[in-house]
Amino acid sequence: MNQNFSRRTFMNYGLTAAASLAIPGVFPQTATAHGFAPEDSLLVIGPMKGYSPQIGTLVSMLNYNRDTIIRSVKSLTMAQLDFLFDPHANTIGGLLLHLAAVDYFYQINTFEGRQELNEEEKKEWGAAMELGDAGRQEIKGHDVPYYLEKLSAVREKTLTLLKTKNDKWLLALDPIWSKEQPVNTYWKWFHVCEHESNHRGQISFLKSRLPGAKPAKD
């Protein structure tokens, strides 16, 4: 097939499809076209009631990611949470507390303008932030409710604070972080989101290596 013809055909098809979306009744409209995503829906990405439009969209993604984490670990035992695959690995428990610590750091950074934890915060979150040897030595002996409570407490405060902000705040550049390249607040919280996705993959791998476990399906 002629390459130019193929490209034109594809572009024309895409334009036709896009145009048809504007014609009422041709395609079903999304649930959020003229409103907010249902508060209990995890499969609708878009504005949410109580937040500015772009912050609500961000929150809908944070909510979905967090739900997948909770569902993947809620039935694990303490021994499984503390299982160390090899001397250089992190435990599932360590990764869960790490997620809470990163959420906490971006909370103090974006809402308070702080660049690092204070000494008291380092005592609580230092090992979880760094992981490595400190994480392997210090983060153990806790059950699932302990980790879920830590995750929930930090996230609930984050969501409460996000309700006090607007999209202008979300899109604003950080003058300190932007010295080498532009960095805005939206990127920081998007990073929290994709960071959680990354560690969800690690958790799935570690679950598949637990003694007696079946291979991971996701």
pLDDT digits (tens, 9 = 90+) for 137-155: 999 999 999 999 999 999 9
Torsions phi, psi for 85 (to 5 deg): -65, -45
HEC string of 19-47? HHCCCCCCCCCCCCCCCCCCCCCCCCCCC
Considering only 31-35, 105-109, 151-155, 179-183, which range has the smallest mean pLDDT? 31-35
The answer on pLDDT for 58 being more than 90 is: yes
**What is the mean pLDDT of the segment spanning 2-21?**
40
Across the range 121-134, mean pLDDT stands at 96
- As a whole number, the mean pLDDT across the chain is 86
pLDDT higher for 56 or 37?
A: 56
pLDDT at residue 25, as a whole number: 43
9: confidence class by pLDDT, cuts 50, 70, 90: very low
- The predicted-structure confidence for 187-215, as pLDDT tens digits, reads as follows 999 999 999 999 999 999 999 999 987 76
Q: Using the predicted structure, report yes or no on whether residue 11 has a pLDDT greater than 60.
A: no
Q: What is the pTM of this model?
A: 0.81
The larger pLDDT score, comparing residue 4 to residue 187, is at: 187
Q: What average pLDDT does the segment 166-173 reach?
A: 98
Burial class (CB in 10 A: 0-12, 13-18, 19+), 145: exposed
pLDDT surpasses 90 at 10: no
Residue 4: CB atoms within 10 A of its CB come to: 8
* CB distance 170 to 58 below 8 Å: yes
pLDDT tens digits along 63-94: 999 999 999 999 999 999 999 999 999 999 99
CB 196 within 8 A of CB 96: no
